[in-house]
Amino acid sequence: MKEINKQPLRVALLCTGVDGHRGGIETFFDECFKGLKEAEGIDVVLCRGPGKTSVGEFAIPCLLRNHRPAKWLGVLLRRNSYIVEQLTAFPFFARFVRQWKPDIIFYSDSNHGFLLHRWRKQMGVDYKLLFSNGGPCHPPFSRTDFVHQVAPLYKEEALTAGEPDAKHIMVPYGIQPPENVIFLNESERKTQRSRLNLPPDRKLAVSVGWLSATHKRMDYTIREIAALGENRPHLAMVGRMDETTPPIIALARELLGESGFTAVSVPYDRVADYYQAADVFVLSSLFEGFGRVFLEALGQGLPCLIHDHPVMHYVLGDEGQYGDFSQPGNLSGLLRSTLDIPLRLEDQRRRHEIVQARFSWEALRSAYVQMFQQVAATPIP
């Protein structure tokens, strides 16, 4: 058994998409490093893609997925640019592993784990692989040593499928909610909407995520808001755009009119501007691995209208407003009743405090350290 108390465990957080592609997983690993770098008992390094680094970070040369060379090489290899990013990063990360000799490699991009599992003996470093299952992926988990489950549903699914209990450790995603969040009243929200070139005198529903009909189901959101008629809120869709986005924008133009919606992709630190301007948060996905975006919206004091699913219940509890979003008319009904209720300061504060108490790094730091220590002390199942 590893002597885990004599020296700090060396934990490499591996996520080449940090800054290059700002999705939920990338944001989690960036905040995980910041939340754990001062924790006792572990020595943490964030291994990220090329770019500017700070103390405790290691930049891995690679072809980033959203750059043209990765897309071109992906066409030649018949792989997508996301896989190209991880394939081109592997030789450089392998050199880092040989030099630093981490005890644990904590990652969420499956192809990183497959390569590290395949070449572990050749690399000559006795590391353990801990896969953070935020996707989510489903069993079997045959090419990793341990699995960080972020919601009870997926741990139960793995155990039901015959996975060993010792292999799966349940700790929710951590998040860093804004410490000095300012909750705006109705007049101030109107001013904020004007700053963002949004209609100041209309209610605002914000939906944050991939602007696509796939998974986030922005098409369903558009149709449900259109069903509210003339008094419907303005819809702000904020998130990643790709080749699947133009049909979404075309549908919004058709059903909501040019002035009835906004579609933008902004840096992560500007998404909060849209939360502050909004009256309600909506997301029409029928499942999530965890849903950090729910905590972002809740931490900004917004009511959250979401699909009735066990993971959403775990994350939001009594603060979520649930409906069967597989059926037409259910989101529009929730929107109608929610927008009739004024957004009160005491409700906003309560929602923020719930996120702080359950999911902040201050609340979860010790649980993550214990997870790493448990992995280090447990033989590979």
pLDDT tens, position by position, 100-133: 999 999 999 999 999 999 999 999 999 999 999 9
How high is the pLDDT of residue 22? 65
How high is the pLDDT of residue 2? 43
pLDDT, tens digit, 9 for 90 and up, residues 310-358: 999 999 999 999 999 999 999 999 999 999 999 999 999 999 999 999 9
pLDDT, tens digit, 9 for 90 and up, residues 220-274: 999 999 999 989 999 999 998 988 999 999 999 999 999 999 999 998 889 999 9
SS3 329: coil
Instruction: Indicate if the alpha-carbon torsion angle 143, 214, 318, 178 is positive or negative.
Output: positive
Measured in whole angstroms, the distance separating CA 263 from the mean position of its chain's CA atoms is 20
How high is the pLDDT of residue 52? 87
Q: What percent of the chain has pLDDT over 70?
A: 98
Whose tokens are 């359950």? That residue is: 358
How high is the pLDDT of residue 110? 93
CA–CA distance, 376 with 127 (Å, rounded to integer): 9
Least confident stretch, 36-40, 72-76, 178-182: 178-182
Q: What percent of the chain has pLDDT over 90?
A: 85
207: CB partners within 8 A, 6+ apart: 216, 218, 221, 235, 236, 237, 238, 239, 281, 282, 283, 284
On whether the CB atoms of residues 10 and 104 are closer than 8 A, the answer is yes
Q: Each residue of 1-37: b (16+ CB within 10 Å) or e? A: eeebeeebbbbbbbbbbbbbbbebbbbbbbbbbbbbb
Please give the DSSP secondary-structure letter assigned to residue 229.
G
How high is the pLDDT of residue 24? 82
Q: Where are the alpha helices (DSSP H) in the chain?
A: 24-36, 68-77, 81-100, 110-118, 120-123, 152-160, 186-195, 218-226, 246-256, 271-277, 292-299, 310-316, 330-339, 345-359, 361-377
Residue 1 clears pLDDT 50, i.e. is over it: no
One DSSP character per residue, 123-176 reads HT---EEEEEE-S---S--TT-SEEEESSHHHHHHHHHTT--GGGEEE-PPPB-
Looking at the DSSP assignment, which residues form a beta bridge with residue 178? none
Pairing of strands 280-282, 204-208: parallel
How high is the pLDDT of residue 162? 97
Residue 181 clears pLDDT 90, i.e. is over it: no
On whether the CB atoms of residues 63 and 88 are closer than 8 A, the answer is yes
Q: Considering only CA atoms, which of 143, 138, 152 is closest in space to residue 107?
A: 143
How high is the pLDDT of residue 4? 44
CA–CA distance, 73 with 79 (Å, rounded to integer): 8
- For 117, the token pair is 């599992």
Over residues 170-178, the mean pLDDT reads 92
Query: What pTM was computed for the model?
Result: 0.92
